[in-house]
Amino acid sequence: MPELRKDPVIGRWVIISVERGKRPSDFASPSHKRRVSGFCPFCEGNEYTTPEEITAIRPDGSDPNGPGWTLRVVPNKFPALRSDGELEKTGEGIYDRMNGVGAHEVIIETPEHVSSLATMPPERAEDVLRTYHERINALRQDGRIRYVLVFKNEGEAAGASLEHTHSQLIALPIVPKIVKEELIASRQYYDMKERCIFCDIITQELEDGRRVVYENDGYLAIAPYAPRAPFETWILPKKHESSYQSGDGFSGLAEVLQRVLRQLDSLLDVPPYNFMIHTSPFTESENEYYHWHIEVMPKLTKIAGFEWGSGFYINPTPPEIAAEYMRNAEI
Amino acid sequence: MPELRKDPVIGRWVIISVERGKRPSDFASPSHKRRVSGFCPFCEGNEYTTPEEITAIRPDGSDPNGPGWTLRVVPNKFPALRSDGELEKTGEGIYDRMNGVGAHEVIIETPEHVSSLATMPPERAEDVLRTYHERINALRQDGRIRYVLVFKNEGEAAGASLEHTHSQLIALPIVPKIVKEELIASRQYYDMKERCIFCDIITQELEDGRRVVYENDGYLAIAPYAPRAPFETWILPKKHESSYQSGDGFSGLAEVLQRVLRQLDSLLDVPPYNFMIHTSPFTESENEYYHWHIEVMPKLTKIAGFEWGSGFYINPTPPEIAAEYMRNAEI
């Protein structure tokens, strides 16, 4: 069973995940690529190699765990957290830990090995975004879970161990540090101004225009004012919404997300990237102060000593310039 | 002039550093290595290619900016922050920024291209550690500077752009987020217990023993209880000291640091790594609650979507096992 441990000084939790590799020799030198040669467990026909599916979209009404699907959700074969057992919190002298209860699921976005979220048909991208929402809502029923983080690692340098396009979710028994910080800060702003800080950001960015990457009726994509990485892009619903949802069946969101990903692919030659959905925790899913959004981070720079030691980022590309490139990208 | 910008929600600052690369084409694909072929600006004889030296150790009394040195400190040729000008803080609607005043220096640890901090003669490693201290103290005189972060990026995957062994320091006009968090948390612990939390950690780790990597008279190296990365190792002075210093001319610290680096080299086949010195800010350099230390992070795992979105880390190697490997490493 994995274990959650808390750094006693800074309150940062880590997952000690003993089911994954652990000996020194298990860490391949970063220069060796661990590419999966040939066989792909996420391709249609290879369903027997994954754990049993949690849900799937099967337009032909086919049976679970065989071909015929357009999207599958399966448990991660090497989960960072485990779904069985009760949550147990224990101390060890001055240290705090709990057992690694939660869930770790993989959303296989398409049966085709070569497809990508950026270029698949819009309806299929909507399916992916809607599935995130359905899985979050299903996990909400589990009383042990406080937060679900949906994220995508695309490309080896961004942490993907399989090439076939997929996203992941990790359901956590605690609210993670960054989310907690965002919530506290948003609530402080709300207490002071009676307004959501993200709504204020949207207003200012739409007036200013320099950092706007794209907008449609429901959504705005911007280069944030203080981006950690070059070409970092945030997608926000224009109307206040505290938790990840969509009024239009996710079609507007899919349009913005696919467009942003295609702009990045065009400008940066199909870069590795991560995206993360930031949303309110289950205990306060409806509120006036927090505003869900997606953060897209192309993986172009390295986290080095300065960033590790300071929590500060050095970014060589001003967001105004990045946004201009994005707006003008040929897609 | 670079610019410091603050994320309005989470309070995270970034340095927008326009002097460095910025166009999409400036970001080489991560698979292309940007190795410097042949010529090295840090080698003896090539002093003319660096900015003028700030200080150096010249046992033969030779003139600055020529051969004859064993250690040189020079300004970074592509600084993240600039040392000229007054600090100016401005707003932009809801956003906050300041100009990028500070310093960015490179400590060239040795004139020999092939040497490493792990294996150089102990007296030379002491020189490196003492030079960090001297530079911090020199920068303390600059009223604009609040904090100096000393760090080392070793190996390309850990962010080093030059192979020749060197460390860096960045002097900042603000106290960075991670340091601020550590200070606040340590002060809270002290308010509650009248004890330094790091002193308590040292006591518990010495009693427990499972996470001890190495100790000598003055210093303790441990695998921390909640490490972000496999084989992460912290080095702390056993006696309470709030700011980076040494009572013994840095010989004890050099011994522990060189040993830890050699243990990592032996176990992990000369891995890329970062280390960072965590110390108190200038405004509270002498205090009872914070305890300086060095954090060494081998670069074996990737920061991916989960870590970006949560501030949570997944670590496949329990620190008790890592410490045991370290203790038994043949060096």
Dump pLDDT digits (tens) for A128-179: 999 999 999 999 999 999 999 999 999 988 989 899 999 999 999 989 888 9
Asked if B3-175 and B178-328 have one fold, the answer is yes
Q: Which of A8-17, A303-312, B81-90, B217-226 has the lowest mean pLDDT?
A: A8-17
pLDDT given at position A286: 94
- Choose the closest CB to A5 out of B157, B225, B230: B225
Cβ-Cβ contacts under 8 Å between A and B: the total is 287
Q: CA-nearest residue of chain B to A2?
A: B316
Taking CA atoms, A278 is separated from A176, A231, A274, B173, in Å, by 11, 18, 13, 30
Interface with B, mutate which of A312, A321, A331 (most B CBs under 10 A) = A312
Chain B interface disruption, residue of A107, A189, A206, A310, most B CBs within 10 A: A310
Higher pLDDT, A330 or A12: A330
Residues of A serving a catalytic function are 166
Q: Does domain A178-301+308-328 have CATH number 3.30.428.10?
A: yes
CB under 8 Å, gap of 24 or more: what pairs does B281-288 form? B281/B146, B281/B147, B281/B175, B281/B179, B281/B183, B282/B140, B282/B145, B282/B146, B282/B147, B283/B146, B283/B175, B284/B183, B284/B242, B285/B140, B285/B242, B285/B243, B286/B242, B286/B243, B287/B242, B288/B190, B288/B196, B288/B240, B288/B242
3-state DSSP assignment of residue B95: strand
Q: Do B24 and A267 touch (CB under 8 A)?
A: yes
Contact (CB, 8 A) for A129 and A253: yes
For A266, which residue in chain B has the nearest alpha carbon?
A: B24
Query: What CA–CA distance (Å, rounded) separates B243 from B245?
Result: 6
Distance from CA of A92 to the nearest CA of B (A): 10
User: What pLDDT was estimated at residue B263?
Assistant: 96
Q: Cβ–Cβ of B158/A297 closer than 8 Å?
A: no
Dihedral sign, Cα of residue B191, residue B197, residue B199, residue B205: positive
Residue with structure tokens 């109307």?
A239
Q: Could you read off the pLDDT of B75-107 as tens digits, one per residue? A: 998 888 888 888 888 888 889 888 888 999 999
- Side chain identity at residue A2, one-letter code: P
Label residue A32 by pLDDT band (50, 70, 90).
very low
Interface contact B153-A304, CB threshold 8 A:
yes
Q: What is the CATH number of domain B3-175?
A: 3.30.428.10
Domain ranges of chain B: 3-175, 178-328
| Cβ separation A17–B230 shorter than 8 A | no
- The whole-angstrom separation of Cα B42 and Cα B34 is 17
Most B-contacting residue of A27, A189, A276 (CB-CB within 10 A), to test interface? A27
Interval B1-47: pLDDT, tens: 777 777 776 667 777 766 655 666 766 544 333 344 579 999 999 99
B75: exposed, middle or buried (C-beta count within 10 Å: 0-12, 13-18, 19+)?
middle
> Which of A12, A152, A303 has the CB atom closest to B303's CB atom?
A303
How many other C-beta atoms lie within 10 A of the C-beta of residue B59?
A: 8
Residues of chain A found within 8 Å of residue B197, distances taken between Cβ atoms: 8-9, 94
Residue A222's H or E segment, with its range, is strand A219-222
- Interval A180-208 mean pLDDT: 94
What is the band of A63 on the pLDDT scale with cuts at 50, 70, 90? very high
Chain B nearest C-alpha distance from A286 (Å): 19
Instruction: Give the CA angle between residues B9, B306, A309 to the nearest 5°.
Output: 65
- B180 Cβ contact partners less than 8 Å away, ≥ 6 residues apart: none
Contacts of B230 in chain A (CB under 8 A): 22, 27
CATH class for the domain made up of A3-24+33-175:
alpha beta
All residues of chain A having their beta carbon less than 8 Å from the beta carbon of residue B269 are 29
CA distance A179 to A201: 18
Contact A159 B303 (CB under 8 A): yes
How does the average pLDDT of chain B come out, rounded?
Answer: 90
Strands A293-298, B3-6: pairing is: unpaired
CB-based contact B226 A182, cutoff 8 Å = no
Residue A83 has pLDDT above 90, yes or no: no
Residues 6+ apart with CB under 8 A from B273: B152, B154, B155, B158, B261, B264, B296, B297, B298, B299
Select the residue of B11, B16, B93 nearest A204 (Cβ to Cβ). Answer: B93
Cβ <8 Å between A172 and B312? yes
Instruction: Decide if A21 and B295 are in contact by the 8 Å CB cutoff.
Output: no
Taking the CA of residue A311 and the nearest CA in chain B, the distance in Å comes to: 5
For B158-227, give the DSSP string: GT-SS-S-EEEEEEESS--HHHHHHHHHHHHHHHHHSS-HHHHHHHHHHHH-TTEEEE-SSEEEE--SS-
Question: How do residues A215-241 score in pLDDT, each as one tens digit?
Answer: 999 999 999 999 988 999 999 999 999
- Side chain identity at B100, as an amino acid letter? G
CB atoms within 10 A of CB A245: 15
Chain A contact set for B24 (CB, 8 A): 231, 267-268, 325
Catalytic residues of B: 166
- Separation in Å, CA of A112 to nearest CA in chain B: 23
**B204: closest chain A residue by CA:** A93
Q: Spell out the SS3 assignment of A252-294.
A: HHHHHHHHHHHHHHHHHCCCCEEEEEECCCHHHCCCCCCCCEE
Using CA coordinates, name the residue in chain A closest to B314: A15
The reported pLDDT for the residue numbered B20 is 54
Q: What is the dihedral of CA A183, A184, A185, A186, to 10 degrees?
A: 50
Contact at CB, B22 and A321, closer than 8 angstroms = yes
Among residues A93, A13, A9, A97, the alpha carbon closest in space to that of B203 is found at: A93
Q: Do A198 and B14 touch (CB under 8 A)?
A: no
Give contacts of A15 with chain B, Cβ < 8 Å: 312-315
What are all long-range contacts of A81-90, with beta carbons under 8 Å and residues at least 24 apart?
A81/A2, A81/A15, A81/A170, A81/A171, A81/A172, A82/A1, A82/A2, A85/A1, A86/A144, A87/A144, A87/A173
Average per-residue pLDDT in chain A? 90
The Cβ-side half-sphere exposure at B112, using a 13 Å CA radius, reads: 8
* Number of other residues whose CB lies within 10 A of the CB of residue A155: 18
For residue B178, what are the CA distances in angstroms to A14, A172, A181, A306, B324? Answer: 16, 23, 13, 11, 29
Q: Which CATH superfamily is domain B178-328 in?
A: HIT-like (3.30.428.10)
pLDDT computed for residue A7 by the predictor: 72
Q: Chain A: nearest CA to B59, how far in angstroms? A: 30
Q: Which residue has the higher pLDDT, A203 or A25?
A: A203
Q: Tens digit of pLDDT for each residue in A242-301?
A: 999 988 889 999 999 999 999 999 999 899 999 999 999 999 999 999 999 999 999 988
Place of tokens 């970092």: A232
Q: What is the tens place of the pLDDT at every residue in B135-187?
A: 999 999 999 999 999 999 999 889 898 999 999 999 999 898 889 999 999 99
Q: A96, A152, A200, A314: best mutation site toward chain B, by most B Cβ within 10 Å?
A: A314
pLDDT given for residue B19 in this prediction: 60
Record: contact B305-A94, CB cut-off 8 A: no
Greater pLDDT, B9 or A84: A84
